[in-house]
Amino acid sequence: MADQLIIYLKDIHKLEADWAFFRNTGELSTPVDTGTLAELADKNKNAIASADKIYCIINAQLTHFSYQTIPAKNIQRALQAIPFALEDQLAEDIELMHFATSPASHNIYPVAAIKHQTLQQITTSLSELEIEADCIYTDALCLPRTANSWRFLHSGDSISIDQGNNTIIHSDPDMFELILKQLIQQTKAENIPASFEVFTNKNLPDEIIRTDELPASIEINRHQFSSAIALFAANLSGKHQVNLLQGKYQVQKTTHQWWKPWLLAASLAVIVICLQLLSGILELSKFSQENTLLNHEINSIYKRSFPASKKIINARVQMESKLKALQKNMGKADSGFIDILADIAPVVSANNLTIKAINYRNRKFELQITTDKLSSAEKLMTDFNKLTSVKAELVSSSSESKQVTAKIQLEAI
């Protein structure tokens, strides 16, 4: 397997960088070289073309990095909400910013925001030299990570402070002491880290932190490096990384080197697909003929079933439509009888009376009842009219031998 290339783009305007090739184990396979991107491309044209993966590392000061709690189950939905969650934290209009994230832990997403103009400048500079980066990371996130610690990257004239699961803060050496003091004061006692991991270029002073003003519980571990490339190369696979090349910036890498061994298999696959297509065409022709015969038969059945219908556009669809209309009307009728009967049955049962006859027609019930007194029939009428589903009407009543006979009509509303 080919080596991977790591490029530390230290100045995006002058396009000055450090670079080296490294193995999957994170160990460098070439010495660290320094120069411009043009010199990188000129010296390593073949190696770049065959590189298994290309990483570009940029200064964290070019981005705004933080952790955001977003109640979204996937990255795409989270990216829709993230710009609005960060709107008050960014100096720039969110329309001018590109947002990137990686999988969340308990709905907490690591979010990197960078100006479109800046990211376009970087990707264009690489593309013009035929360098197709797979990932663009920020340097502060490429440091070794230990539990319950803050990481400090002192490189050039800037210091980046990675507070673990919090915002990355940037400072120059003059303001660093004041900013660090404020960060510690703002941190709850239970969240004070156990250690400060300080990574400093050997050409810069490593005593950037004064221990006399820090909580005694914090251990300070200093790590000096001559080039950050080796440091970064060993820490590119962490879950905390956020690749800025997302959305419209995602690069589709040229793959002409690896498809050649598969040419024979691809050719056989094309032949098989062509044979399947030919077989499908023959099957389609056969089914088309059968479909024509079936359509003629359906038209004949429709003419016999609906002789009054003169115009046939689509016999099958027309028959289905008429059948659905019949089923709908039948359903309404049945439903009307059952629904009304279900409503009036409890009322009839609750009154002391005898039913002599029941008729049902056109969603109307006609009840003939006998009872011992007229007041019982009137109470029944009152109870019926309390129902919201029917309207009751006393059609007739008569009294004979201490027995009242009444005819009541119930109509569904």
Is 319 a member of any domain?
no
Do 129 and 236 fall within a single domain? yes
Distances in Å between the alpha carbon of 257 and those of 3, 225, 245, 260, 360?
14, 36, 23, 7, 84
Full residue range of the structural domain in which residue 67 is found: 4-254
Give pLDDT, residue 116.
96
In 3D space, the residue among 331, 323, 407 whose CA is nearest the CA of residue 371 turns out to be: 407
User: 173-211: per-residue pLDDT in tens?
Assistant: 888 888 999 999 999 989 899 999 999 987 777 677 877
Do 250 and 369 fall within a single domain? no
Is 121 a member of any domain?
yes
Q: What is the mean pLDDT of the chain?
A: 85
Beta-bridge partner residues of 284: none
Residue 229's CATH number: 3.30.420.380
Is 111 a member of any domain?
yes
In 3D space, the residue among 232, 242, 237 whose CA is nearest the CA of residue 104 turns out to be: 242
Is 321 a member of any domain?
no
Out of 192, 226, 254, a domain closes at 254
Out of 215, 231, 254, a domain closes at 254
What is the number of structural domains in the chain? 2
Residues 360, 163: Cα–Cα separation, whole Å: 81
Beta strand 219-225 pairing with 195-201: parallel
Distances in Å between the alpha carbon of 93 and those of 83, 85, 96?
10, 13, 6
Residue 342's CATH number: 3.30.1360.100
Out of 254, 287, 302, a domain closes at 254
Do 249 and 372 fall within a single domain? no
How many other CB atoms are found less than 10 A from the CB of residue 31? Answer: 9
Is 195 a member of any domain?
yes
How many other CB atoms are found less than 10 A from the CB of residue 62? Answer: 19
Is 34 a member of any domain?
yes
Do 83 and 229 fall within a single domain? yes
- Residue 339 CB contacts under 8 Å (≥ 6 apart), including other chains: 389, 412
User: 58-96: per-residue pLDDT in tens?
Assistant: 999 999 999 999 988 888 899 999 999 999 889 889 999
